[in-house]
Amino acid sequence: RKNSFKPRIFLPHLVASMNQVEETYIMIKPDGVQRGLVGEIISRFEKKGFKLIGLKMYQCPQELAEEHYKDLSSKSFYQKLIEYITSGPVVCMAWEGVGVVASSRKLIGATDPLQAEPGTIRGDLAVQTGRNVVHGSDSPDNGKREIGLWFKEGEVCQWTPAQAPWLRE
Ligand code: ADP
């Protein structure tokens, strides 16, 4: 008992170096679909070396949009955000990989596309926060939560890519 005390210190660089395999929920928003960016966006995650474990096109119902963005329900833009996300089909994806949550956020870029670095999805492909083409979970816990929200059981596949030994030693 006496020795069971473990300090809870959050050190992101240590967490990343632990080689944690994580899952994240990535979604191409209706503007990304309408603008023909689906292949381009999937390609960036694929080329990076992450593993696609879930993929579907889906017309998001109002209730799901509200649940997904419930933490933002007090924001002034919330109603418009719900309208935006339900305005047309989205592409839902689950991706797996070491450090995939933080790395995906980097691939996606800042929330405001005008602030997003060139080379990122939003930096290269979008101009406005209200039309920023893609969503990515902001923590491993939210990754799991959102995959559970958007995918039914059996829709997420476990598989071993042939390239696995060429990606990680
Ligand atoms: P991110 O998607 O980068 O994690 P947030 O979680 O802060 O960003 O916001 C969720 C989504 O809400 C954003 O991607 C964007 O579509 C929308 N949003 C955020 N801030 C604004 C804003 N000021 N005006 C309009 N839409 C916004």
pLDDT tens for 45-82 read: 999 999 999 999 999 999 999 999 999 999 999 999 99
ipTM above 0.95 for this complex: yes
> Which one from 135, 136, 147, 151 is the annotated catalytic residue?
135
> What pTM did the predictor assign?
0.91
Structure-model confidence comparison of residues 83 and 9, the more confident one: 83
User: What's the topology of domain 17-153?
Assistant: Alpha-Beta Plaits (3.30.70)
* Binding positions: 29, 77, 105, 111, 122, 132
Q: Which residues are annotated as a binding site for ATP?
A: 29, 77, 105, 111, 122, 132
Alpha helices in the chain (DSSP H): 12-17, 30-34, 38-48, 62-68, 78-85, 100-108, 121-125, 140-150, 164-167
Q: Which residues line ligand 1 (CB under 6 A)?
A: 72, 77, 81, 111, 129-130, 132, 135, 138
Residue 68 annotated as catalytic: no
Domain ranges within the chain, ordered by starting residue: 17-153
Give distance in angstroms: CA of 116 to centre of ligand 1: 13
- With the CA atoms of 67, 73, 76 and 77 taken in that order, what torsion angle do they form, in degrees rounded to the nearest 10? -10
